[in-house]
Amino acid sequence: MKKLVVIFISVFIVSHLAAEDGSRLWLRFQETKKEATDSKLFRSNRKSPTITIALDELNRYWKGPAVDLIADKKAGTIKDGYKISYKGGKISISAARDIGLLYGVYHLLRLQQTGKDATALNVEERPSYERRILNHWDNLDGSIERGYAGRSLWQWSQLPDTLSPRYEAYARANASIGINGTVLNNVNANPQILTPEYLLKVKALADLFRPYGLTVYLSVNFAAPKAIGGLPDADPLNKDVQQWWKNKVKEIYALIPDFGGLLVKANSEGQSGPQDYGRTHADGANMLADALKPYQGIVMWRAFVYSPTKEDRAKQACQEFVPLDGQFRDNVIIQIKNGPIDFQPREPFSPLFGALRHTQEMIEFQITQEYLGHSKQLVYLAPLFEETLQSDTYSDGKGATVAKITDGSLRPARVTAIAGVANTGDEVNWCGHPFAQSNWYAFGRLAWNHNLPSEQIADEWIRMTFTPDERFVRPVKDMMMSSRETCVNYMMPYGLHHIFAFNQHYGPEPWGDIPGGRADWMPWYYHNADTTGVGFDRTATGSNAVAQYFPSLNDVYGDISRCPENLLLWFHHVPWEYKLKNGGSLWDNLCYRYDEGVQQVRSYQKVWDRLETWVDAQRFREVQSRLRIQAKDALIWKDACLLYFQTFSGQPIPYDIERPVNELDELKEQIRIKHNSTL
């Protein structure tokens, strides 16, 4: 009888949970019922569209004491910062800029929503980076490169006359976590974005975003003067080309006075750039910087230079940019991916961080899960972001972390910035997988304060997105915090990298060899498996990529006995019989890691199924379904990689782990069919 009562109570709780579709993200504030006179609880010493939004948020959702918003130019020297204090039964938020007051309001609402005390406050917040930017890889036809949550948010065919309500919801979500910039279009840019027709559409979005402190940027095609301007070339030293860009920038600022600047991908993956004309990256970036300078605009010039080379691809960025150090204008900032290859599940930090001593550097993360299971797999990325930001480059002695190099605290910088490749689309829940929302949230929180622990961010997000009940928060937080390492385990442990299926970047294809493709498109280029061992030799006896790191790290990475084991196969070609620190061989440890990844995902299924009473039915089923997919895919990764690598190692899979359930030839055929279906 007691068991039946428990079952009845559980069913009752689930049936009475409010229906959810994920559209509210982490902003699931409960509206308060206030009397008309209660509006006097919230006051400000000035008026503006931004302050109107801040007061409206307080009126609708704040349940605590009275709040004064005080605009005071003396309140802080750092843009966007704010102070919150509590005295005499009243909360005061002061800031030098109106947007700081709005950020302060969202700080209060976050405390309320997560169950924290908001009446014992003495807080001063200053962002780690001046520019905290989402990069959208959205195309003008509505598609999204590496997008896994539907089509683009931007309905270009309806702009500028029709504004989707999701635009303002998007701006509000970003403001709630301190993101203050958005690049609207793909780095593989269509030149048409710079035509008068599209600039009017961009203006409509910029006008809507402005009260939320969200500045608009554009990716540009370097060949635009030739493609849409009618010029014979796009040579950055051509006076006519320079004038074309000056005229175009003037046109943009006439429409959008607070336009942020330009993002450029040049001479990479077939994109046009200054090297087409025998010029340097500095020549190209400086031409654009000169056009933007009168308007305080910036150039974000990407260091992702991925073009055919006989050298190790991991060395390319340093080889092209270090010789140019000190040649860039002070409104140019080099945008560097977190690792030297391409957003892999695990990479060492890019050696370009710290190597440019006289050039501003910013970091680029990928929020969208191109190489981490798309929006089908639960992978919380804050530990990856945190790992990179806190990595010590030793460029200026011990403590020269990537965070300190990019935030201007180690070396003075006129511009500081951080970028994340967005994972939003037009699906109702914005990001596809309900847990993928956490990565958007985490990027914003770390962009605001790169010292926040990823565990704290996960705790906030769970409480805001689902429930503050500890019986739910604790197990879900444990699952999230281990999920990135779980993904590494079943995909590419010990520093293996880029062994994905060609183009789709989802499933495994370590045997991949695409006819007519370049070597650095092929998985074998990166794993180098043979009968002696596996891994990429980047030591002095190999490509010598370790030499691009500062000596303290070069000595560690280049020594197989000292190299961190999680990067072992990134820097070394390691014999199958090599003994790791636990005494087991590399081969056996690889097998155990792959199997561990599979078992970890299965444990997530059990954890989630036990939490049904705390989650609304729709989101519960969505996560449950995706965990089933992840468990199946993890098993495919394990079987494909171990069976393939076994053809080189010649050693048995340890008998105390689960046997492969797939045949290698069948897996190869499945991948081949997927390739053909995408051609």
388-425: pLDDT as tens digits: 999 999 999 999 999 999 999 999 999 999 999 999 99
Domain with residue 53: its CATH number is 3.30.379.10
Percent residues over pLDDT 90 in the chain: 90
Q: For residue 480, is it within any domain?
A: no
**Once rounded to an integer, what is the mean pLDDT over residues 177-185?**
98
How many domains are contained in the chain? 3
Helices 617-649 and 586-609, interaxial angle, to 10°? 170
Of 225, 328, 322, nearest to 285 by C-alpha is 328
Catalytic status, residue 342? yes
Query: What CA–CA distance (Å, rounded) separates 222 from 312?
Result: 26
- Is 12 domain-assigned? no
pTM passes above 0.85: yes
Encoding tokens for residue 354? 């710290």
629 vs 370, 549, 624, 661, CA distance in Å? 16, 39, 9, 16
Structure tokens at 241: 């080309």
Q: Are residues 185 and 227 in the same domain?
A: yes
The answer to whether residue 508 is domain-embedded is yes
Q: Which pLDDT does position 184 carry in this prediction?
A: 98
Cα atoms found within 13 Å of the Cα of residue 41, Cβ hemisphere only:
20
CB atoms near residue 679 (< 10 Å): 5
Contacts of 26 (CB under 8 A, 6+ apart): 173, 176, 437, 441, 460, 461, 464, 465
Q: Partners of 94 in the beta sheet?
A: 70, 83
Looking at residue 39, what is its pLDDT? 60
- Same domain for 442 and 403, yes or no, is yes
> Structure tokens of 559?
């020594």
Domain boundary among 103, 125, 147: 125
Residues in CB range of 413: below 8 A, 6 or more apart: 333, 360
Nearest CA-CA partner of 63 in 24, 18, 114, 109: 109
- Do 354 and 292 share a domain, yes or no? yes
Domain boundary among 68, 100, 125: 125
Q: Are residues 513 and 605 in the same domain?
A: yes
Is residue 438 located within the same domain as residue 529?
no
* pLDDT > 50? residue 230: yes
> Residue 679 has what pLDDT?
47
Q: Which of 2-11, 193-202, 494-503 has the lowest mean pLDDT?
A: 2-11
CB atoms within 10 A of CB 311: 12
Nearest to 369 by CA among 360, 378, 361: 378
546 occurs within a structural domain = no
Looking at the structure, tell me whether residues 165 and 49 fall in a common domain: no
- Residues 384, 418: one domain? yes
Same domain for 351 and 245 = yes
Largest CA distance in the chain: 87
**pLDDT number for residue 40:** 72
Task: Determine the average pLDDT of the residues in 534-547.
Answer: 98
Q: What is the CA radius of gyration of the chain?
A: 26
Question: What are the start-end ranges of the E strands in 142-260?
Answer: 181-183, 215-220
Query: What are 387's two structure tokens?
Result: 């790992």
The DSSP bridge partners found for residue 361 are 334
Considering only CA atoms, which of 173, 201, 210 is closest in space to residue 24?
A: 173
What pLDDT band is residue 515 in, cutting at 50, 70 and 90?
confident
Is residue 513 situated within a structural domain? yes
Query: Residue holding tokens 């739910």?
Result: 472
Calculate the alpha carbon distances from 301 to 239, 281, 550 in Å: 21, 8, 24
Strands 181-183 and 131-135: parallel
Do 284 and 265 fall into the same domain?
yes
Single-letter code of the amino acid located at 10: S
* Side chain identity at residue 677, one-letter code: S
**How many whole angstroms separate alpha carbon 86 and alpha carbon 378?**
39
- Which amino acid is residue 670, in one-letter code? Q
Mean pLDDT, rounded, for 505-515? 91
Pairing mode, if any, of strands 574-575 and 533-534? antiparallel
Helices (H), 67-129: 98-113
Q: What is the DSSP letter of 29?
A: P
Residues 140 and 115 in one domain: no
Residue 105 is predicted with a pLDDT of 98
**CATH number, domain with residue 651:** 3.90.1330.10
The one-letter code for the residue type at 315 is K
294 class by beta-carbon count within 10 Å (0-12 exposed, 13-18 middle, 19+ buried): exposed
How far, in Å, CA of 522 to CA of 313, rounded? 12
pLDDT mean over 225-240:
98
Report whether pLDDT(314) > 60: yes
Task: Please check whether residues 522 and 662 belong to one and the same domain.
Answer: yes
pLDDT digits (tens, 9 = 90+) for 21-78: 999 999 999 999 765 445 679 999 999 999 999 999 999 999 999 999 999 987 666 6
Integer Cα distance of 283 and 329 in angstroms: 10
Per-residue model confidence (pLDDT) at position 672: 80
Range(s) of the domain holding residue 632? 488-536+573-678
Q: What's the CATH code of the domain at 181?
A: 3.20.20.80
Please say if 370 is a catalytic residue.
Answer: yes
The catalytic position among 269, 530, 555, 663 is 269
DSSP label at residue 343 = S
Task: Compute the distance between CA of residue 334 and CA of residue 537 in angstroms, rounded to an integer.
Answer: 28
Three-state SS across 122-138?
A: EEEECCCCCEEEEECCE
Mean pLDDT across the stretch 140-160? Answer: 98
In a domain, residue 468? The reply is: no
Residue among 57, 312, 342, 427 flagged as catalytic: 342
Final residue before a domain boundary, out of 93, 125, 157: 125
- Residue 161 resides in a domain: yes
Angle at 390 between CA 389 and CA 396, to 5 degrees: 100
**Domain shared by 418 and 349, yes or no:** yes
The pLDDT-based confidence of 127 (bands split at 50, 70, 90) is very high
pLDDT at 207: 98
- The pLDDT value given to residue 120: 78
The values of phi and psi at residue 375, to 5°, are: -100, 25
Report how many helices (DSSP H) and strands (DSSP E) the chain contains, helices first.
20, 15
**List 98, 312, 364, 370, catalytic entry:** 370
The model's confidence at residue 673, banded by pLDDT at 50, 70 and 90, is: confident
CB 188 within 8 A of CB 220: no
Determine the average pLDDT of the residues in 601-608.
98
Q: Dump strand ranges (E) for 15-112.
A: 42-44, 66-71, 82-87, 90-95
Rounded CA separation 262/264 (Å): 6
Using CA atoms in the order 305, 311, 313, 319, what is the torsion angle rounded to 10 degrees? Answer: -50
Asked whether residue 433 is domain-assigned, the answer is yes
